[in-house]
Amino acid sequence: MKPLRIVSWNILHGGGSRCDQILATLEKYQPDIVTLQEFRHGRSKPVLIEGLRSLGLDAICAPETSNARENSVIVATSLAMRAESFPSVSSPARAIEACIEITAGVELNLIAVHFPQKKAQVPLFDRLLALPSEWRDENSILIGDFNCGIPFEDSETQTFYATHLFQQLLSCGWSDAWRQRNPKAREYTWVSAGKGNGFRYDHALVSDELNQRVLEVKYDHSVREQKISDHSLLLIDIHL
């Protein structure tokens, strides 16, 4: 059985000609599950949705927003999925909770996130910290753009607002899949245009059960360097 492949990517709105580049990148990776952050319900939405369906990712959850310029999250998969907004005080469109059927009797719990900035991060972190402990005993993953990390491990400066809450997720049993496999490495998924400081904002936090099944987790920085988006793409292969 081939590995389950998940791609997570902040697509910086994904409008205009970049929509074709985003879809071409996804086609290259042939994912089973895609989470896209900074998705917007604007003019490019029908093109992107139709493109995902053409790739076989026809189970789609894309919560509506109050206006077309609001950043949100989309989850698309070729598998059977039950999904809905994972609400927080800041914005329900910032996170999606999905239960995805991998094979008969095997399910994946997934929460795709796009954290806002600074104090607005706290309600979503609190909701994740309040998840039932059973999640960490099952095949579960928290994935997306956390806009957070650990200073000088995941950044070149000390500028994260909610590091203590990110670390609480790790201390209560979630594992940073990439960091566990690259303990000394420094890779950055977003680089500030002004000072050129790098930050690893994009993470896959996995339960112990799922961590044992991870085959590979890596970043594709070329999509950021080619300016398809301002974020690198995160890819994770899992044996289920």
Q: And the tokens for 199?
A: 């930050």
* CATH number, domain with residue 15: 3.60.10.10
Q: How far apart are CA 24 and CA 192, in angstroms?
A: 26
Please tell me the total count of domains within the chain: 1
- Rounded to 10 deg, the angle between the 45-54 and 18-29 helix axes is 20
**pLDDT tens for residues 195-218?**
899 999 999 999 999 999 999 999
Q: Where are the beta strands (DSSP E) in 65-162?
A: 72-77, 80-85, 95-103, 106-114, 140-145
> Residue 141 is encoded by which pair of tokens?
């993953």
pLDDT in tens, 47-97: 999 999 999 999 999 998 888 888 899 999 999 999 999 976 666 668 999
DSSP at 221: -
In terms of phi and psi (left: phi > 0; alpha: psi -120 to 50; beta: otherwise), the region of 180 is alpha
Structural domain including 96 reads 4-238
Give residue 93's pLDDT.
67
* Residue 10: closest CA among 238, 236, 234: 234
